[in-house]
Amino acid sequence: MRRFVAVLVLLVSGCSAAPVPVSAVPSPVASSIAPSPAAAGHAPTKSFSIATRTFRFKRGDRKLPTTVYYPKASGRFPVVVFGHGLNGNPTLYAELLRRWAAAGFVVAAPAFPHTSAGVAKFDVMDVLNQPADVSSVLDGLTALPATDGLRKSLDLRSVAAAGHSAGGITTVGVFTVQPRDPRFTAGIVLAGNSLGVGQTFTGTPAPLLFVHADDDPVVPAYTDRAVFDAVPWPRAFLRLSGDGHSAPFVSRRDPHFSVVVSTTVDFLRWALYRDSSALGRLLRVRGLDSHL
């Protein structure tokens, strides 16, 4: 327990440091006439114009204000629930999440009640409660009125959990903490590990992608690699040479940001749309250890 608290304190210091600013340049999106979603097995290949909405979901007395990025087009799109790092918030990751939405995914990003920036009662131990929060956000989306345009666009047969740092730990917990939520069929862990949530992966196989920088000073890459090695399902590990803890995932100015975007998008295309061409591109990514 002492080691758990110590490492979480390190996460606080690493994630709360001033991040590399997110560029104000907007994500590339399509014209106002967005293409129709592709059939299952073929993910969209063009960018969608995107929109955002905010919701005030709750789990008991746990408030979960959630920003949703989604394509401005008709049809159904797979869902990704994204968890921020300690002292973070959804806005910090807007550049990455907008890219995912533009590629044809509905991305829901909650601000966790006791680990997000500016909360009154910050508690690093609350990370252990966040896997259930991720499920509650999905519950909230599912409970939207049937007439709601966003609700109509959700493909709830294809849902991924994703997260950075403590949000990466949260994502691992989605697949290890029992009882497991079977609705999540894939996951992306960015600079995370299994601290506090363990490595007991059970249930229906769900492919997982891990992305970690060699020189991460906050969460050592070897701790994430140990989780990767414990996964009994299809999995891949993208090693970023050098770099740090947050910049590759929050700033388009970072030299690795583009490969993070392309690799995570193709992973989601393969895992949620079942697009075999996306898998082919993944297998050619330099630095990717693939067991997909």
User: What confidence tens digit (pLDDT) does each residue in 75-122 have?
Assistant: 999 999 999 999 999 999 999 999 999 999 999 999 999 999 999 999
Determine the average pLDDT of the residues in 119-136. 96
Asked whether residue 32 is domain-assigned, the answer is no
| pLDDT for the residue numbered 15 | 58
| pLDDT for the residue numbered 95 | 97
Asked whether residue 145 is domain-assigned, the answer is yes
What residues contact 104, with CB distance under 8 A and at least 6 apart?
37, 38, 43, 44, 48, 71, 77, 78, 269, 273
120 is in which domain, residue-wise?
A: 43-291
Confidence bin at 23 (pLDDT 50/70/90): very low
Asked whether residue 166 is domain-assigned, the answer is yes
Asked whether residue 261 is domain-assigned, the answer is yes
Q: Which residues pair with 57 in a beta bridge?
A: 64
Determine the average pLDDT of the residues in 199-226. 97
Asked whether residue 215 is domain-assigned, the answer is yes
| pLDDT for the residue numbered 28 | 35
Asked whether residue 34 is domain-assigned, the answer is no
| 3-state SS, residue 13 | helix
Residue 230 has phi, psi (to 5 degrees) of -85, -15
| pLDDT for the residue numbered 41 | 85
Angle, vertex CA 124, rays to CA 118 and CA 127, nearest 5: 105
Angle, vertex CA 282, rays to CA 291 and CA 109, nearest 5: 95
Determine the average pLDDT of the residues in 37-50. 81
Asked whether residue 36 is domain-assigned, the answer is no
- Going from the C-alpha of 87 to that of each of 39, 54, 181, 235, the distances in angstroms are 39, 20, 26, 28
Q: What is the CATH number of the domain that holds 238?
A: 3.40.50.1820
Residue with tokens 């294809």: 158
Asked whether residue 29 is domain-assigned, the answer is no
Q: How many structural domains compose the chain? A: 1
| pLDDT for the residue numbered 26 | 32
